[in-house]
Homo-oligomer: A and B are copies of this chain.
Amino acid sequence: MGITLAQAEQAIAAAKAKSTELGLKMNIAVVDAGANLVAFARQDGAWLGSVDISIKKAKTARFFDMNTGDLGQASQPGGSLYNIEHSNGGLITFPGGIPLKDANGEVIGGIGVSGSTVENDHTVAQAGASGIN
């Protein structure tokens, strides 16, 4: 099913380090290739509402193998995927979710981060994705 727990924990550790460096409080979720939760961490004081959002971002990124923010471009009113958020028990389509790939470029899971601006969420998610060896 792709990512191992050890790799997911590397991603979360790297995301936590970046979040702390930026003075933020984040929820961080990692799912595997089957879009099932592998690891999760909520930093002390992070928004409670972002528990679910971070998990949904990670799943959304793996559901469609693209950054959540890219999907959100197409889900706007008039867009080709308008209101796709109604599927799969609720998607989150703003930035902060990124597919995770192995050295061959194959998708092995997804990471989702929520707790600040979407720019910060994406930055921390990228740090997490880059932290996997």
Contact = CB atoms under 8 A, between A and B. Distances in A.
Interface of A: 1, 4-6, 8-9, 32-44, 47-53, 56, 59-60, 62-65, 72, 75-78, 80-95, 117-118
23 contacts: A1-B1, A1-B33, A1-B34, A5-B42, A5-B43, A9-B41, A35-B36, A36-B51, A37-B40, A39-B40, A39-B41, A39-B42, A47-B63, A47-B65, A48-B63, A49-B62, A49-B91, A75-B82, A75-B83, A80-B95, A80-B117, A83-B92, A83-B93
B81 A118 contact: yes
Number of copies: 4
Given A36-B35, A42-B37, A48-B34, A78 B76 contact: yes
